[in-house]
Amino acid sequence: MLNQKLIEIVDIFKCCVFTWGAITTVLPSFLLAGAIATFVPTRSVTRFLGPKSNKWFAYPIASIVGQVLPTCSCNIIPLFTSILKKGCGTGPAFTFLYAGPAINIISIVFIFKIIGPILAFWRIIGVLITSIVIGLVMSILFKDEKVGTEQCSVPTQIDSTNAVEMPKKKSSLLLFFITLFLILAIGSSIGGMNPLEQGDRFIIQKIIAILLLAGGLVFLLIKYFPKESALSWIDETWRLLKSIIPILIPSILIIGILSVFIDIRWVHQLFSAQKDALGNRIFLPTLKATFLATLFGEIMYFPILTEVVFVKAFLKLGIDIGPALGILLAGPGTSLPGFLLLYKFVGLKKVLAYFTLSLIIETIIAVTLSMYMGDYLCACLIAK
Amino acid sequence: MKNKTLIIFLTLVLGASFITYYKTTSYKRQPLEIYIPCGMIVPFQETIKSFVKENPGANIKPSFETGSVLVRLILNKGKRPDIFVSTGATEMKNLVEKGLIDTGTLKEFGKFNLVLYTSNSNPANITNLNDLIKPEVKIITISDPRFNSVGSYAEETLRNAGIWDSIKDKLVLTDSPIQALTFVASGKAQAGIHYDTCPFDTAPEKIDSETLKVVQKIPAQYHNRIVSEIALLKEAKNKKLGAIFIQFLTNAKGQEILKKSGIESITQPASDAKTAKVKIDAYYPFNEEHKLVGDYLKTFEKKYPGKVSVRLIDFRTSDGYDEWRKTGLSCGGIIINGKSEFDIDTLDGKKTIRFLRKVDAFWSKEDFEKVIDKEINGVN
C-alpha cells in the first residue's frame, strides 16, 4: 500500500519534473540567472527608480529588476524597505515588491518547461501588468512622504556588480550571454511538450551542440574574463542552487503527497471549469473559482518555484486554467507571512491597499485568460 | 513563315494545355484542412498517407485535438476547416445545429463499442456495470456527455442499465475523455467508460498499459449505435478535394485501412452511390425546417444498408445550386433513381406521387416508404 502511494507520488510529476528535459532546461537557467546577477550592473537600472524619475522608465524597470535577484515573497521585503528608505518612489518600490519574486529567469524557464508556453507567457504579462498597475495606484493613494534625490541609491544586497571586474572586450560578454541563451534554448527543446512527439529524433545532435557550446563558454571565460569574475559567476550560480534546490525538492514531494490524498470531487466542485452545453465556460462560476484560487495564492506562502509545481499537480487534478493562473500570479509575490512582515514596515493601510489591488488585478487577468484562451491540456494527459 | 506559324501554334496549344492542366488540378494544390479527434491519429495518418499516394500532390493538413475542443475552435474562434471528423454523434450534432455542416456530404465511416475500465489494481473488484453501485466504488469518471460523444454514450449506458440514479453522485465529469482515463489510471477514480479502440487498442502508448485494464465489453443494447462521422463544412474552401477524400475514406479501400488501424468498419460502406440499388438525391435548403427531411431520409441508409444511398444537396451552396438547376426542379424535392414522380397502389387504386416540397405537403412518409420498397423489391 505504502509502496503504491510512493509510486503515485512520483507519478504525479513523472512526465514533467522528473525528466532529463527538466534538468537540461533548469540547470542552464541557473547559470543564466547567475550570469545576470553577476554581470548586469544593477545600479545602472535602479537609478531610474527615484520618485522624480520618468514614470515611463521607472515602472517597467521596477517590474524587471527582479531578474537580478531570484527570491520569495518574504525575502524581498527587506530589499523593498531598503529601496524605500534610500529614497526610491513608493510606486516603483511596490512594483518591485510584487514583480521581484515572480519575474526572475529561473521561474520563467521553469514554468515554461513544467506547465507550458501559454501559462508561462500569461504569467509574465500578468505579473508585469499587475505590478505596474499596483505601483501606479499606490503612488496615487500614498504620496511620497519623503522625497529623496532624483536617483535613489541601491542597497548593497542587490548590487553584486560592485566588486566584479568586467571582461575587457565588451563583445566577449555579449557572446557569453548569447552562448548561455543558446544552451538554454537547445536544452529546453529536449523532451519537448508536443503530444504527438514519440521521441526526440535529434537528441544526439542536441547533446553534441550543448557540449560544443559549453566548450565555447569555457574558452570565452579562460580567454577574456578575469579569473575572479568567472569565479564570481560560478559562486553566484552555486548560491542560487543552494538557496532554491534544498527547498524545491522536499516541496515537490510534499505537493505530490498532498495531491495523492486529495479527492478530485472536491477539486472539481471548487476549481474546475463550469461549462455550458457546448463546452464554453460560464462567466460567474469561472469568476468565483478564479477568485477563490487567487485568494488562496495571495495568502499561501510559496517558496520560490514551488507555486509552479503546486499548480502543475492541481492542473492534473482538474483545476481550470483561470484558477491556475490566479495561483501562479498571486503565489510568488504575496503571502500571509509577507503581508504581516510588510505591515511592520509600511502600516496597515498600505498593506490592505496592496492586498486588495493585487487580488483584484490578478483575478481580472486570470478570468480573462480562462474565458478566452481555452483549456489546458497537459502533455502528461496525452502522452505517457 | 510556315515554321513560325507552327511554332506559334504549338506554343499556344502547349500554353492552353498547361493552363487547363493547372486549372483542373489546382484543387489538389490547395490545402485540405481536416479537423480530427486526437483518438484517431493512427487511422487518419494511415488513410492520409494512402490517399496522397493515390492523389499525388494532394495537400492534406490534419489538425488533431480533442473533439469538443475542435468544435469550439469552429464555433468560437471562427476556424473553418474543410472537413470535420467526429468519433460519435454529439460533436457533429453541435455543428449541424449551428448550420455549419454541409449535411449532404455527411457520411458514417466506422463504428465503436464501449468498455468499462478500471485501474489495473482494481481495488473495488469491479467486473461489470452493476458493480459500480457497490459502496466501495467512490468515484466514477466519464467525459462530459453534453459535448463529448463517448460521455453521452456512457450516460446512455448507465441509464439503460438502470443504475444512473444510484451512481450519479459518484460521477466526476471531465472536459476530455483522456482526462477521465488519467483519473482512473492514477487511482483518483475507480472506473470509467470509454471506446474499445483508442487508446486501449489503437494507441496503447498514450496510457500506461500497466495502469488500466478493460473489465467488461459493454453490450450494444445499452446504447445507440456508435458511429464516427465525417462531413464537409459549408464554408469549406476546397470542396472538390474534400469530397474526393470523403469518398476515399468511405469506399472499400478506405474502410480496409481504417480496419487495419483498429476502427471497425461499418457493415456496408455508407451511401456508396455506385453500388446502391436506390439512389435518393434530396434538394433542399437544409435549414432547421428541412433538417427533419434530411434526417428522415438518412434512416433509409441504415434500414437498407448498401442498397440505398442518400445524398442531401443544399441548394443554398453554389455547387448545390448548380446541381439543383440541372434537375429542372424549381423548389425543394427528392429524386429517386432519376425520377421525382411515381405511381403507387393504394386502397383507392393507383395514385401518382410527386416528391416535391416538404413531407406532408404533397407526399407522406408512408408514400415514400412504399416507393422505396418498390424500387428495392419491385413490388409495393
Domain limits for position B87: 1-111+227-270
* DSSP assignment of B256-277: HHHHHTTPBPPSS-TT-TTT-S
In this structure, which long-range contacts are made by residues A262-268, counting pairs with CB atoms below 8 Å and at least 24 apart in sequence?
Answer: A262/A317, A263/B139, A264/A317, A264/A318, A264/B139, A264/B141, A264/B172, A264/B183, A264/B188, A264/B189, A265/B139, A265/B172, A267/A314, A267/A317, A267/A318, A267/A319, A268/A318, A268/B172, A268/B173
pLDDT tens-digit series, residues B76-98? 888 999 999 998 889 999 999 88
Q: Tell me the average pLDDT across B105-122.
A: 88
> How far apart are the CA of B234 and the nearest CA of chain A, in angstroms?
20
Chain B CB within 8 Å of residue A384 CB: yes
The pLDDT score that the predictor gives to residue A108 is 85
Chain B CB within 8 Å of residue A374 CB: yes
Whether omega for the bond prior to residue B199 falls within 30 degrees of 0, making it cis, is yes
The pLDDT score that the predictor gives to residue A37 is 78
B43 grid coordinates = 487511422
CB A228 within 8 A of CB A160: no
Distance separating alpha carbons of residues A23 and A17, to the nearest angstrom: 8
pLDDT interval class at A384 (50, 70, 90): very low
Chain B CB within 8 Å of residue A196 CB: yes
CB pairs A-B closer than 8 Å: 75
User: Starting from the edge strand earliest in sequence, which strands make up the sheet with B59-65, in order?
Assistant: B59-65, B31-37, B83-86, B226-232, B107-112
Residues of A in contact with B198 (CB under 8 A): none
The minimal CB distance from B206 to the residues A276, A374, A382 is found for: A382
Flag whether pLDDT at B172 surpasses 80: yes
Residues of B in contact with A278 (CB under 8 A): 71-72, 75, 94, 146-147
Distance separating alpha carbons of residues B312 and B95, to the nearest angstrom: 16
On whether both B304 and B261 belong to a single domain, the answer is no
On whether both B370 and B357 belong to a single domain, the answer is yes
3-state secondary structure chain A: CHHHHHHHHHHHCCCCCCCHHHHHHHHHHHHHHHHHHHHCCHHHHHHHHCCCCCHHHHHHHHHHHHHHCCCCCCCHHHHHHHHHHCCCCHHHHHHHHHHCCCCCHHHHHHHHHHCCHHHHHHHHHHHHHHHHHHHHHHHHHCCCCCCCCCCCCCCHHHCHHHHCCCCCCHHHHHHHHHHHHHHHHHHHCCCCCCCCCCCCCCHHHHHHHHHHHHHHHHHHHHHHCCHHHHHHHHHHHHHHHHHHHHHHHHHHHHHHHHHHHCCHHHHHHHHCCCECCCCCECHHHHHHHHHHHHHHHHHCCCCCCHHHHHHHHHHHHCCCHHHHHHHHHHHHHCCHHHHHHHHHHHCHHHHHHHHHHHHHHHHHHHHHHHHHHCCCCCHHHHCC
Interface test with A, best of B175, B183, B190, B210 (most A CBs within 10 A): B175
The pLDDT score that the predictor gives to residue A351 is 93
The minimal CB distance from B172 to the residues A8, A196, A268 is found for: A268
Distance separating alpha carbons of residues B310 and B298, to the nearest angstrom: 6
B317 grid coordinates = 451552396
Phi, psi of A354 (to 5 degrees): -65, -45
pLDDT tens-digit series, residues B301-323? 877 877 888 888 878 776 678 78
The minimal CB distance from A275 to the residues B64, B144, B208 is found for: B144
Neighbours of A35 (CB within 10 A): 20
On whether both B193 and B277 belong to a single domain, the answer is no
> How far apart are the CA of B378 and the nearest CA of chain A, in angstroms?
46
Phi, psi of A231 (to 5 degrees): -65, -35
The pLDDT score that the predictor gives to residue A383 is 36
pLDDT interval class at B269 (50, 70, 90): very low
The pLDDT score that the predictor gives to residue B380 is 47
On whether both B209 and B336 belong to a single domain, the answer is no
The pLDDT score that the predictor gives to residue A176 is 92
User: CB B176 to CB A381 under 8 A?
Assistant: yes
Which chain A residue's Cα is nearest to B146?
A: A277
User: CB A8 to CB B186 under 8 A?
Assistant: yes
The pLDDT score that the predictor gives to residue B153 is 94
The reply to whether the predicted model has a pTM over 0.80 is: no
On whether both B35 and B101 belong to a single domain, the answer is yes
More reliable by pLDDT, B86 or B24: B86
The pLDDT score that the predictor gives to residue A44 is 63
Phi, psi of B171 (to 5 degrees): -80, 135
Flag whether pLDDT at B23 surpasses 70: no
Residue B178 lies in a domain: yes
Last residue in a domain, options B199, B217, B235: B217
Flag whether pLDDT at B257 surpasses 50: yes
pLDDT tens-digit series, residues A150-170? 455 555 555 554 567 788 788
Which chain B residue's Cα is nearest to A198?
A: B205
Q: Is A74 exposed, middle or buried (0-12, 13-18, 19+ CB in 10 A)?
A: middle
pLDDT tens-digit series, residues A306-322? 888 899 888 888 899 99
Which chain B residue's Cα is nearest to A9?
A: B186
* DSSP assignment of B99-128: T-B-GGG-EEEEEE-EEEEEESS-TT---S
Neighbours of A122 (CB within 10 A): 21
Q: Tell me the average pLDDT across A85-90.
A: 73
Q: Tell me the average pLDDT across A1-19.
A: 62
More reliable by pLDDT, B267 or A125: A125
> How far apart are the CA of B208 and the nearest CA of chain A, in angstroms?
6
Q: Which of B317, B310, B307 is nearest to B335 (CA)?
A: B310
Distance separating alpha carbons of residues A312 and A12, to the nearest angstrom: 9
Instruction: Indicate which CATH number applies to the domain containing B258.
Output: 3.40.190.10
Flag whether pLDDT at B208 surpasses 60: no
Chain B CB within 8 Å of residue A195 CB: yes
Q: Which of A51, A106, A39 is nearest to A83 (CA)?
A: A51
The minimal CB distance from B183 to the residues A4, A264, A384 is found for: A264
> How far apart are the CA of B60 and the nearest CA of chain A, in angstroms?
17
Length of chain A, in residues: 384
On whether both B35 and B172 belong to a single domain, the answer is no
B177 grid coordinates = 475523455
CB A370 within 8 A of CB A109: no
User: CB A375 to CB B64 under 8 A?
Assistant: no
Residue B289 lies in a domain: yes
pLDDT interval class at A36 (50, 70, 90): confident
Q: Tell me the average pLDDT across A239-257.
A: 83
Mean pLDDT lowest for which of A4-13, A129-138, A294-303, B271-280? Answer: A4-13
- The tally of CA atoms less than 13 A away on the side-chain side of residue A20 is 10
Rounded (10°) CA dihedral A248, A253, A259, A260: 170
Distance separating alpha carbons of residues A306 and A286, to the nearest angstrom: 24
Distance separating alpha carbons of residues A62 and A81, to the nearest angstrom: 14
On whether both B128 and B204 belong to a single domain, the answer is yes
Distance from chain centroid for Cα A232: 23
Partnered with residue B213 across adjacent β-strands are B118
Distance separating alpha carbons of residues B211 and B122, to the nearest angstrom: 10
Q: Is A301 exposed, middle or buried (0-12, 13-18, 19+ CB in 10 A)?
A: middle
The pLDDT score that the predictor gives to residue A272 is 84
Residues of A in contact with B64 (CB under 8 A): 196
On whether both B47 and B119 belong to a single domain, the answer is no
Which chain B residue's Cα is nearest to A383?
A: B206
Distance separating alpha carbons of residues A318 and A380, to the nearest angstrom: 13
The minimal CB distance from A375 to the residues B64, B141, B175 is found for: B175
The pLDDT score that the predictor gives to residue B170 is 93
Residues of A in contact with B79 (CB under 8 A): none
Q: Tell me the average pLDDT across A273-293.
A: 90
* DSSP assignment of B182-206: HHHHTTSSSEEEEESSTTTTS-GGG
Q: Tell me the average pLDDT across B39-48.
A: 86
Q: Tell me the average pLDDT across A136-151.
A: 70
The minimal CB distance from B72 to the residues A196, A265, A278 is found for: A278
Average predicted confidence (pLDDT) for chain B: 83
Interface test with B, best of A14, A319, A375, A376 (most B CBs within 10 A): A375
Residue B222 lies in a domain: no
Q: Report the Cα–Cα distance between both ends of chain B, in Å, rounded.
A: 74
Percent of chain A past pLDDT 70, that is, above it, reads: 77
The minimal CB distance from A381 to the residues B121, B182, B189 is found for: B182
User: CB B72 to CB A279 under 8 A?
Assistant: yes
> How far apart are the CA of A279 and the nearest CA of chain B, in angstroms?
6
Flag whether pLDDT at A192 surpasses 60: no
Mean pLDDT lowest for which of A368-382, B156-170, B278-292? Answer: A368-382
> How far apart are the CA of B176 and the nearest CA of chain A, in angstroms?
9
CB A247 within 8 A of CB A306: yes
Q: Which residue has the cell 442498397?
A: B307
Distance from chain centroid for Cα A18: 19
pLDDT interval class at A54 (50, 70, 90): confident
B234 grid coordinates = 459549408
Last residue in a domain, options B270, B300, B332: B270
pLDDT interval class at A194 (50, 70, 90): very low
Interface test with A, best of B96, B119, B179 (most A CBs within 10 A): B179
Chain B CB within 8 Å of residue A7 CB: no
> How far apart are the CA of B240 and the nearest CA of chain A, in angstroms?
29
Q: Is A163 exposed, middle or buried (0-12, 13-18, 19+ CB in 10 A)?
A: exposed
Distance from chain centroid for Cα B333: 24
CB B345 within 8 A of CB B336: no
Residues of A in contact with B174 (CB under 8 A): 318
Helices assigned H by DSSP within B237-364: 239-250, 252-260, 288-303, 318-327
Residues of A in contact with B144 (CB under 8 A): 275, 279
The pLDDT score that the predictor gives to residue A154 is 54
On whether both B51 and B185 belong to a single domain, the answer is no
On whether both B181 and B248 belong to a single domain, the answer is no
Distance separating alpha carbons of residues A199 and B4, to the nearest angstrom: 62
User: CB B188 to CB A317 under 8 A?
Assistant: yes
Flag whether pLDDT at A104 surpasses 70: yes
The pLDDT score that the predictor gives to residue A5 is 63
Phi, psi of B46 (to 5 degrees): -65, -45
User: CB B147 to CB A275 under 8 A?
Assistant: yes
Residues of A in contact with B182 (CB under 8 A): 316, 380-381
Residue B1 lies in a domain: yes
For the four alpha carbons of A100, A103, A109 and A113, in that order, the dihedral sign comes to positive
Which chain A residue's Cα is nearest to B91?
A: A278
On whether both B173 and B104 belong to a single domain, the answer is no
User: CB A11 to CB B76 under 8 A?
Assistant: no
Flag whether pLDDT at B51 surpasses 80: yes
What is the ipTM metric for this complex?
Answer: 0.72
Residue B303 lies in a domain: yes
CB neighbour list of residue B271: distance below 8 Å, 6 or more residues apart: B107, B250, B301, B309, B310, B311
The pLDDT score that the predictor gives to residue B173 is 93
Most confident of A199-203, A264-268, B80-84: B80-84
pLDDT interval class at B201 (50, 70, 90): low
The pLDDT score that the predictor gives to residue B294 is 83
Residue B211 lies in a domain: yes
User: CB B175 to CB A273 under 8 A?
Assistant: yes
Number of domains in chain B: 3
Percent of chain A past pLDDT 90, that is, above it, reads: 22
Residues of B in contact with A195 (CB under 8 A): 38
CB A119 within 8 A of CB A111: yes
> How far apart are the CA of A204 and the nearest CA of chain B, in angstroms?
23
The pLDDT score that the predictor gives to residue A196 is 40
Flag whether pLDDT at A360 surpasses 70: yes
On whether both B101 and B155 belong to a single domain, the answer is no
Rounded to whole angstroms, what are the CA distances from B97 to A243, B71, B103, B156, B350? 58, 12, 10, 21, 39
Q: Report the Cα–Cα distance between both ends of chain A, in Å, rounded.
A: 23
User: CB B186 to CB A383 under 8 A?
Assistant: no
Distance separating alpha carbons of residues A113 and A120, to the nearest angstrom: 9
Flag whether pLDDT at B200 surpasses 80: no
Chain B CB within 8 Å of residue A273 CB: yes
Residues of A in contact with B173 (CB under 8 A): 268
User: CB B38 to CB A195 under 8 A?
Assistant: yes
* SS3 label, residue B380: coil
Most confident of A107-111, A342-346, B189-193: B189-193
> How far apart are the CA of B165 and the nearest CA of chain A, in angstroms?
18
Percent of chain B past pLDDT 90, that is, above it, reads: 27
